[in-house]
């Protein structure tokens, strides 16, 4: 027997959220992905039993502020592959959420309130139009993975240095002219992807990142004269894979 608390409407051709979603028993998992939804009703905020909500692969161009009322979300919130140009500041109330995917949208910024989402372990914001990140990002002290591929970033806020649990950082396909100083000293960083940026040189402190296992520098125009002598050799000698 299927679990009545899991409502799965993936690719059901709905066009709108079905009325039965509001019926008892209240769902704990609601999957509305790939249904050509153009709006989410404000009543979504009444589904306070939700632990996971999937609104990915739709045609949403805005979200109701009432999403912030879903403070029971502890699993995943999928908002990727829509037409979103902004996120509601009320998302900052989702302090227990573990995974947030807002990739493949048209976002030019993330709300400052995102730094209040202290439970986040993984944040995906790839393939948007971000030119900078909020200073509050350093508040995500449990964050282990940050995916920012395909934006327009040139730097990272200094608060990123507070992400002591960060393991994976994808900065591929951005506009970084140098490796962000904010990464210096991150104790848990294992994988740093800087492919397809505008790097000309590298800082010597990369060799001091204690947990680094993979450094991907391909498709940059690195100048050997601006790369510290022996940097690649030193990293490789301790087992870090360096690709350039």
What is the rounded distance in angstroms from the CA atom of residue 99 to the CA atom of residue 77?
6
Mean pLDDT of the 110-135 span: 98
Q: What percent of the chain has pLDDT over 70?
A: 100
CATH of 6-243, one of 3.40.50.2300, 3.90.230.10, 3.80.10.10, 3.30.565.10: 3.80.10.10
In the chain, where the domains are located: 6-243
The mean predicted confidence, pLDDT, of the chain is 97
**pLDDT (tens digit per residue) in 67-102:** 999 999 999 999 999 999 999 999 999 999 999 999
Please report the pLDDT score of residue 69 as a whole number. Answer: 98
pLDDT higher than threshold 80 for residue 34: yes
Taking 50 as the threshold, does the pLDDT of residue 1 lie above it?
no
Contacts of 3 by beta carbon, 8 Å cutoff, 6+ apart: none
């Amino acid at each position: 027997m299927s679990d009545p608390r899991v409502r799965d409407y993936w690719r059901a051709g709905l066009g709108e959220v079905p009325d039965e979603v509001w019926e008892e028993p209240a769902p704990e998992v609601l999957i509305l992905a790939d249904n050509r939804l153009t709006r989410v009703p404000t009543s979504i905020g009444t589904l306070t039993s939700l632990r996971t909500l999937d609104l990915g692969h739709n045609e949403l161009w805005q979200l109701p502020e009432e999403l912030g009322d879903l403070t029971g979300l502890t699993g995943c919130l999928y908002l990727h592959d829509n037409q979103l140009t902004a996120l509601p500041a009320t998302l900052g109330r989702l302090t227990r959420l573990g995974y947030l995917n807002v990739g493949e949208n048209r976002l030019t910024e993330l709300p400052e309130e995102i730094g209040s989402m202290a439970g986040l372990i993984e944040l995906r914001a790839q393939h948007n139009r971000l030119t900078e990140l909020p200073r509050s990002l350093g508040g995500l002290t449990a964050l282990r993975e940050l995916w920012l591929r395909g934006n327009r970033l040139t730097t990272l806020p200094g608060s990123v240095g507070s992400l002591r649990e960060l393991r994976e950082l994808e900065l591929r396909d951005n506009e970084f002219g140098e490796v962000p100083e904010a990464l210096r000293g991150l104790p848990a960083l294992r994988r740093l992807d800087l492919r397809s940026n505008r790097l000309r040189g590298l800082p010597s402190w990369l060799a001091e990142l204690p947990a680094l296992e993979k450094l991907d520098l391909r498709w940059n125009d690195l100048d050997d004269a601006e790369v510290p002598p022996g940097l690649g050799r030193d990293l490789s000698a301790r087992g870090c894979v360096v690709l350039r």
